Amino acid sequence: MMALPPTLTPKQHLVHHSAEQWEEFVYEWVMALKGVGYVDVVGMGGANDRGADIAAFLTAKKTDGAWHCYQCKHYDKALGPATAYPEILKIHSAVAEKKYQVLPERYVFVAPKIGGTLIQLLAKPSELKVTFFAWTEKNADKLLEEYGAAPLQRALDLAQQTDFSCFEAGNLDKILEQHASTPHHVRRFGTRMPNRPAREQAPAEPAPEEARYIQQLLAVYAEKWNGSAASLDEAGAHPKAGRNLQRQREAFYCAEQLRVFARDSVPPGTFESLQDDIYSGVVEVEERDFDLGYDRLHAVLEAARNMQLGSNILLSVERPDDRKGICHQLANEDRLTWVQEEL
């Protein structure tokens, strides 16, 4: 038998990212850091990024107040001082020229590989500062041509006042660990879905957000059993309607749990895409003529259970009641109707 090719690790995947994909990955990671106190995260990269690819704001003042800067670098070789020094100068120039009001409190270089020399310099800010100014002196003519004499001097004057301990390098292992908690990790790296939590029972009393689909079910029961089981109390006491209602509510809560799981585990819109696929597969059944809404309800649920779906990643964690519950979510939004008035 032929051996299957080895699966790439997330770190190996990142080596093959383009610069744009790398910046998207870093943005996803920084968004996951909102819990540390960021009020917003903005991608600012581009040809004129003014020294900041991604800005994370600690206050509503944005770059006029406390903020952090994440500079994304994706090269084949390890990031070294020769690449870092121009970026350090660029952020000082941007502040000196009032493009930003203040320097970021943290300036983080994020690259797949950080060279040992730069790591050592970042660990000793005083030496980083000395070597930075040695670099500016060595490249004075080129920098004068690029910035102009007065703007360059303003940037260097600001750098002289700066505590270079604000400059640091992101740890890729830690970044990947934190990224794994985001909804983007599975899609980006093709890793396994996290384990879905154990199923919980529906609460004894219906919640307000259940009102519409339960109202639709009560209409089904009233039609099916000649006006009986038209209220929750009557349905609960009915030998068949009560059991049916309980099963439908359990399915609804199963699908609601999948919705929450999707929110925390996969990219936005994944669950809604699954809902739309199921709706597309059952709406033709729902539109057929039936003698009773009860028949329409069960025909739709059966169609949802048996339909072939595409490649939605949530299908790998699907439970038997999820599709039935999604039908009730659709009924809750009046996208599906069981008892239909004659036209």
List per-residue pLDDT tens for the chain, 343 residues long: 444 445 788 888 898 899 999 999 999 999 888 767 899 999 986 656 677 899 999 999 999 999 999 999 999 899 999 999 999 999 999 999 999 999 999 999 999 999 999 999 999 999 999 999 999 999 999 999 999 999 999 999 999 999 999 999 999 999 999 998 888 888 888 777 788 989 889 999 999 999 999 999 999 999 999 988 899 999 999 999 999 999 999 999 999 999 999 988 888 899 999 999 999 999 999 999 999 999 999 999 999 999 999 889 899 899 999 999 999 999 999 999 999 975 4
Q: In this predicted structure, what is the pLDDT of residue 259? A: 96
pLDDT at residue 46 in the model: 65
Q: How far apart are CA 306 and CA 304, in angstroms?
A: 6
The predicted structure's pLDDT at residue 4: 42
Interatomic CA distance for residues 187 and 313, integer angstroms = 8
Q: What is the pLDDT of residue 5?
A: 46
79 - beta bridge partners? 114
| Distance between CA atoms of residues 186 and 267, nearest Å | 9
pLDDT at 189: 84
Give the residue among 261, 290, 256, 144 at the shortest CA–CA distance from 196: 261
Distance CA 21, CA 112 (A): 12
Pairing of the two strands 54-57 and 40-43 = antiparallel
Comparing C-alpha atoms, which of 104, 98, 94 is closest to residue 38?
Answer: 104
Reported pTM: 0.69
CA distance 118 to 127: 11
Give CA–CA dist 159/307, Å, rounded. Answer: 64
Domain ranges of the chain: 10-189, 208-332
pLDDT at 1: 43
Look up the CATH number of domain 10-189.
3.40.91
Angstrom distance (rounded) from CA 21 to CA 217: 47
Amino acid at 13: H
Tokens 């030496």 correspond to 127
Spatial separation of the C-alpha atoms in residues 141 and 167, rounded to whole Å: 26
